[in-house]
Amino acid sequence: MTASLLEQLIEAFRVLPGVGQKTAQRMAYHVLEREREGGVRLSKVLGEAMERIGHCARCRDFSEAELCATCASPSRDTHLLCAVESPADRMAIEQATGYRGLYFVLQGRLSPLDGIGPRELGLEQLAERLSEDQVRELIIATNPTVEGEATAHYLAQLARQRGVRPSRLAHGVPLGGELEYVDRGTLSHAFGSRSEMYD
Amino acid sequence: MTASLLEQLIEAFRVLPGVGQKTAQRMAYHVLEREREGGVRLSKVLGEAMERIGHCARCRDFSEAELCATCASPSRDTHLLCAVESPADRMAIEQATGYRGLYFVLQGRLSPLDGIGPRELGLEQLAERLSEDQVRELIIATNPTVEGEATAHYLAQLARQRGVRPSRLAHGVPLGGELEYVDRGTLSHAFGSRSEMYD
C-alpha cells in the first residue's frame, strides 16, 4: 500500500531544517485546515525557486538572473568588496549595516579535511576581481571560527598580493557565533570598526 | 520594484505555524543550498495536497478519496465510534492506542461565541450514524478544556437519546509525571476517582 497524500506531505515537510515528525504533522494539518491559499502559494513559489534560482555569475550569491540585483546595480560602490561565507551572512550584513559596496559569496570556508579548497570557494574568480583595479578594499567577513579565521588570512594574502587593502570585522562579534544570528546592533558596530590586516 | 523570488520564498514559508522571518530565511537558504530535490518534492506534494485533499464524507477527517482509508477498511470494528476535535487528535489516538473502531472528526468544538454550533461540527451527520443501530459505544475524546467538556456533554446526550453508550477518556495523573508538578484540578480529580489495587 502506498502512503497517502497526507503522509507524503508530512514526510516532505521533514526536509526543512529543524522539522521532525511532530512539527511536520503540525505544519501539514495547519495548511490543510487554515492556510489552503498560503499552501498553494508556497507550493508554487517553492517550485519556481527550486527551478530558477541559481548563482550570480559575479558574486556567487543566489540569483534568478545571471547577475544578482546588487551586482547589477549602478549605485553600489565598486571600490569596496565584502567576502562572506554564505548568502545568509550577506543578507545579515545588508540588513544590519549601511554598506553600499559589493559582495563575494564564498559558499563555504577553507576546510582541507572536507575537501574544500580555494577552487571550491571560487577564489580564482575572486583573485581576478581583485586584479581588476577598481577594488581598493576587501572587507573579510568570514565567521570568527577556526576555519573562518584561516580563510580570512588566506583572503588577506590574496588581496595584498594584488595591492588591495584587506580589512576584517571588528571584535564584538562573539567568538564561536554565527554571523547570521548576531543582533543587528552588534553586527553594525563590528562592521563599522573593521580594521586593516597586517602580516 | 517587485520582490525577488528569494524574498517571495521567504515570505511564503511564513504561512507555516511558528515560522517567523528568521526561520523562514533559514528554511529558504537550507532548501536552496542543500535540499533542492527535497524542495522540489515538497513543492509538488504540497500543491497536490492543497488541491486534492478534502474531507471524508463519513468521518469528516482529511481524505483524498470520498471515504478515508479508515472508514473504507473492512477490518475496523463498526460498533465503536470515537469522536475527536481534530485530525491531529485522531492521528494521536491511532498512533498511541490499539483502537480498531471508527472515528468522527468534529473539526472544532462547540463555541457559541465564535458562531460554532452543532451544525458546524456536523452533529446532524453524527446523530444519523448513532441511529444506524451498528454503533454501541461512542468514545468521546474531546480535549479537557471548558469548551471540550461542554461539547462532550452535548455528545453524551446525543448518544444516550439514541441508545448508544457514551464514554469519556480517563482523567488523571499523566504517566511519568511528578505529582508535585501536576495541576490542582487534575490531582483532585485523580484523587477522587482512585481505583482499588489488586494483586
**B77 CA to chain A: closest CA distance, Å?**
21
What is the separation of C-alpha B51 from the centre of its chain, rounded to a whole number of angstroms? 21
For B88-118, how does the pLDDT look when each residue is reduced to its tens digit (9 = 90+)?
889 888 888 888 999 999 999 999 888 888 9
**A29 CA to chain B: closest CA distance, Å?**
7
DSSP annotation of B199 reads -
C-alpha–C-alpha distance, residues A182 and A187, integer Å:
6
Give the mutation candidate from A46, A61, A63, A89 for the B interface (greatest B CB count, under 10 A).
Answer: A46
Which chain A residue's Cα is nearest to B6? Answer: A49
Q: Identify all chain B residues contacting A29, using CB atoms and an 8 Å cutoff.
A: 62, 86-88
For A117, the grid coordinates are 579548497
Contact B157, B175 (CB under 8 A): no
Quick one: average pLDDT of A72-85? 92
Q: Identify all chain A residues contacting B36, using CB atoms and an 8 Å cutoff.
A: 50
Contact call for B43 and A38, based on CB within 8 A: no
Contact call for A50 and B36, based on CB within 8 A: yes
Give the mutation candidate from B1, B2, B6 for the A interface (greatest A CB count, under 10 A).
Answer: B6
- Could you say which of 3.20.20.70, 1.10.8.420, 3.30.1330.50, 3.40.50.300 is the CATH number of the domain covering B6-52? 1.10.8.420
Contact call for A64 and B88, based on CB within 8 A: no
Contact call for B86 and A29, based on CB within 8 A: yes
**B193 CA to chain A: closest CA distance, Å?**
32
- Percentage of chain A beyond pLDDT 70 is 97
Specify the domain boundaries for CATH 1.10.8.420 within chain B: 6-52
Give the mutation candidate from A8, A11, A43 for the B interface (greatest B CB count, under 10 A).
Answer: A43
Collapsed DSSP state (helix, strand, coil) of residue B174: coil
Q: Identify all chain A residues contacting B52, using CB atoms and an 8 Å cutoff.
A: 5
- Output the pLDDT for position A105: 94
pLDDT at A11 over 80: yes
Specify the domain boundaries for CATH 3.40.1360.10 within chain B: 74-168
Q: Which residue among A40, A47, A181 sits closest to B40, beta carbon to beta carbon?
A: A47
CATH number of A67-196: 3.40.1360.10
Give the mutation candidate from B4, B13, B16, B22 for the A interface (greatest A CB count, under 10 A).
Answer: B16
The DSSP annotation for B75-118 comes to TSEEEEEEEESSHHHHHHHHHHS---EEEEE-SS--BGGGTB-T
C-alpha–C-alpha distance, residues B162 and A75, integer Å:
77
Dihedral sign of CA atoms A18, A24, A29, A32 in order:
positive
- Output the pLDDT for position B1: 47
Q: Identify all chain B residues contacting A53, using CB atoms and an 8 Å cutoff.
A: 5-6, 32
For B34-67, how does the pLDDT look when each residue is reduced to its tens digit (9 = 90+)?
889 999 999 999 999 999 999 999 999 999 989 9
Q: Identify all chain A residues contacting B44, using CB atoms and an 8 Å cutoff.
A: 43, 47
Quick one: average pLDDT of B78-88? 91
Q: Name the band, by pLDDT with cuts 50, 70 and 90, for residue B14.
A: very high
pLDDT at B153 over 80: yes
**B121 CA to chain A: closest CA distance, Å?**
14
B74-168 is classed CATH 3.40.50.620: no
Quick one: average pLDDT of A38-54? 93
Nearest to B99 by CA among B74, B80, B119: B80
**What's the ipTM?**
0.78
Instruction: State chain B's mean pLDDT as an integer.
Output: 89
Contact call for B38 and A8, based on CB within 8 A: no
pLDDT at A1 over 50: no
- Could you say which of 3.30.70.260, 1.10.540.10, 3.40.50.720, 1.10.8.420 is the CATH number of the domain covering A5-52? 1.10.8.420
Contact B141, B88 (CB under 8 A): no
Q: Using H for helix, E for strand and C for coil, what is the string for A72-133?
A: HCCCCEEEEEEEECCHHHHHHHHHHCCCCEEEEECCCCCEHHHCECCCCCCHHHHHHHHHCC
Specify the domain boundaries for CATH 3.40.1360.10 within chain A: 67-196
